[in-house]
Amino acid sequence: MINFSKSWVPIIILIIIILGIFGYFFLGDRFFYESRSPAQPLMGCVEMKNNGDYGNSIDIVFLADNFEDLNKFREITDEMVNSFFETVPYNEYEDRFNFFRIEELNNDYDCDYNYGGDAIVCEPSNIKKAAVSCPNDYPIVLVDVSGIQNLFQHLRSSAWMGSASLNAGDDPLVFTHEFAHLFANFADEYEFGGNVGWDSPNCDSDLNSCSKFDIVPIHDCVVGCVNKNHARSIKTGIMRDYWKSKVYGNYNEEILRKI
């Protein structure tokens, strides 16, 4: 039995604190939350579409923010899942996805309804803590914008740090759009003049031939993917305008299949 002197106790406590801080900042939320995802749904986790095999499936859980009507939350999430499975290539992999809901309307996700002037961003750590009763790879918060949109313009949805915050009043395909940000690291295919600060699979800097997209026989080469220094593989797809298009495009679909 090891007998530590009392003088060592503060040093040991300090080491534990330092290791904890290191784990949070360098390993991220995944260090703390991934191991807490249950092997099966627990009390409070409502099954929407459950194929089981959680370790080898993609598990998605919806949560509610600013809702007063639970039935409204249920209807919107059902519509989003239906539109998701009507989209290529997810319709080819229905047995690989599990969907759940947490039907509590009083959680606090520390949502900013005016992030950057027009976007909804909820705190990822709060979202992940609230989702722990369900198997989850991607927790998704739906925000009922009733009352909020009277203060601001149309609120954009967002995807950040493994979670998404969605405007529940948007087209159901907003979920399919934001999911591709999380799942495939896709960038937006409209031009807002920002930087492509990562190797986004759906943007090509070769503006002449878009050789990156040649893994499929048919694709477009259209200038504009985040900015005008990159091109996209389809003139109008889900990553550009899901109000006008219900497809990702041949190249993007192939990338999603590979993942």
pLDDT per residue over 171-200, tens digit each?
999 999 999 999 999 999 998 767 776 689
User: In the predicted model, what is the mean pLDDT of residues 211-219?
Assistant: 97
Which of 28-42, 103-117, 147-161 is least confident? 28-42
Confidence of residue 116 (pLDDT cuts 50, 70, 90): confident
pLDDT over 70, % of the chain: 81
> Is 228:189 a contact under the CB 8 Å cutoff?
no
How far from the centroid of its chain's Cα atoms is residue 44's Cα? 21
At 196 the pLDDT is 75
Distance (Å, whole) CA 244 – CA 171:
10
Beta strands of the chain (E only): which ranges? Answer: 45-49, 58-65, 97-102, 112-115, 119-121, 138-143, 158-160, 163-167, 222-225, 227-232
At 28 the pLDDT is 45
pLDDT surpasses 80 at 1: no
Confidence of residue 17 (pLDDT cuts 50, 70, 90): low
Question: Counting runs of H as helices and runs of E as strands, what totals does the chain give?
Answer: 6, 10
The model's pTM is: 0.83
Distance (Å, whole) CA 241 – CA 189:
8
Distance (Å, whole) CA 118 – CA 121:
10
At 40 the pLDDT is 80
Confidence of residue 18 (pLDDT cuts 50, 70, 90): low
Highest mean pLDDT (candidates 20-34, 144-158, 245-259)? 245-259
More confident residue, 154 or 41: 41
User: In the predicted model, what is the mean pLDDT of residues 202-211?
Assistant: 95
User: In the predicted model, what is the mean pLDDT of residues 38-62?
Assistant: 90
Residue at token pair 């943007």:
203
Please state whether the peptide bond connecting residue 89 to the residue before it is cis, i.e. omega within 30 degrees of 0: yes
Q: How far is CA 171 from CA 80, 116, 121, 242, 249, in A?
A: 8, 21, 18, 8, 19
Question: What pLDDT digit, counting tens, does each position of 71-80 carry?
Answer: 999 999 999 9
Nearest residue to 111 via CA among 121, 103, 101, 119: 121
Query: Could you tell me whether strands 97-102 and 58-65 are parallel, antiparallel, or unpaired per DSSP bridges?
Result: parallel
Neighbours of 161 (CB within 10 A): 15
At 224 the pLDDT is 93
Average of per-residue pLDDT values in the chain: 86
